[in-house]
Structure 1
Amino acid sequence: MLPESTNGTGGTSGGGLAVPMAWLCAEYLADEVLRAAALVAPGSLEYRAGLQALALTVHLSEEPAGPADGGAARRIDAWLRHTAYDRPWPPWVEERLAARREAGGDGPDQTLAETAWRHLRDTWVRAADLDDRSADDVGCPVDEDEQIWLPAWKLGLPLAHLSLHLR
């Protein structure tokens, strides 16, 4: 990811408006992945949840100083691991945000990432309960009429993961 920049001043000194380049790049990449997968309609609540979940994963997977070493395939593998069903994604997000905050990350990238996480955590949606399945239910379709309230990240994270697989 690119470091923060300003609107033409070439750096954050000089009083220019700081542009959150790292966050904008992560959000752009997430948008491209979700649009290519074409699993949900752009602009829908599901799409927005998937976009924010994937953008947070991309943004927080990178080192604050710049892109991680390795090629695109390695980064995508890391994103797939972080978004996998059996991984504790919310604690990972909170730990990474806290670590960046402690390291002095109080810029616009950090602000946008924290806002995205608050939206994903605090917005509740009604959706089919994919977690309430027993071993006897394997191979049976999910009854989408049986819906529960869940945080938006629980809707967006599987969408982000599946979209990465379909890229």
Structure 2
Amino acid sequence: MAWLYAEYIADELLRTGNLIPPGTIEFRAGRETLALTIYLSDSSDELSGIRVVTSLDEWLSLTTYGHPWETWVRERLAERTAADRRREVISPDLELALASWRWLSGTELLAADLGGAIPSHQAADLGVDESEKVWTPAWQLGLPLGHLAIHLF
């Protein structure tokens, strides 16, 4: 249930933010990225009694540009997998989270080059050239979408 709850919260945040049409692959990237952030930020692995308002600051911090989100996800998934192996039971929530991570890290989307295409000293003058497209893992597109959705909530 914890994964489904995390996915529900992520879906609601993205829909409320109205940043991208539901049903698109970009929306899915944002929802899966946010759901992983929500699910893995809960240390009890239950999302019981979660207080969305107090969690928003933590989720914003985790999805901030420059935060090593990918490393954080890999470490948290490894910790949870090891804990489940010690109990000799893989939880359905963890299985869903792992499947989500496989999709996010294995699926590439053609998107505007948001990272590093413009030298930082020129970025203020030029902005992002949206015609410059690159293939990027889905989580790299979902992360800023998720961050903005949390910020707008």
Fold conserved between structures, TM > 0.5: yes
Gapped runs of 5+ residues in structure 1? 1-20
Counterpart position of 2:52: 72
AA in 2 matched with 1:163: A
Matching residue's letter, 2:145: L
Residue 103 (structure 1) aligns with: 83
C-alpha change, 1:65 and 1:90, in structure 2 (3 Å) is: closer
Contact 1:64 1:100 in 2 (8 A): no
Is 2:123 aligned against 1:143? Answer: no
Distance of 1:34 and 1:139 partners within structure 2: 30
After TM superposition, what 4+ stretches of structure 1 lie above 6 angstroms from structure 2? none
- TM-score if structure 2 supplies the norm length? 0.90
Q: Find the aligned partners of 2:38 and 2:140 in 1 and give their Cα distance.
A: 17
TM, length-normalised to structure 1: 0.83
Which structure has the greater CA radius of gyration? Answer: 1
Matched, 1:133 2:133: no
| Aligned amino acid, residue 133 of structure 1 | I
Aligned length: 147
Establish whether residue 157 from structure 1 lines up as the match of residue 137 from structure 2. Answer: no
Distance in structure 2 (CA, Å) of the matches to 1:116 and 1:73? 25
Larger relative contact order (CA 8 Å, sep ≥ 6):
2
Distance 1:66 1:116 in 2: 18
Q: Residues of 2 paired with 1:40 and 1:70: CA distance?
A: 26
State the shift of 1:33 in Å: 0.3
| Root-mean-square deviation (Å) | 1.7
Percent of aligned pairs with the same residue?
A: 47
What is the match of residue 36 of structure 2?
A: 56
User: Match of 1:160, as an amino acid?
Assistant: G
Where 1:138 maps in the other structure, the secondary structure is helix
1:92–1:68: structure 2 CA closer, same or farther, 3 Å change rule? farther
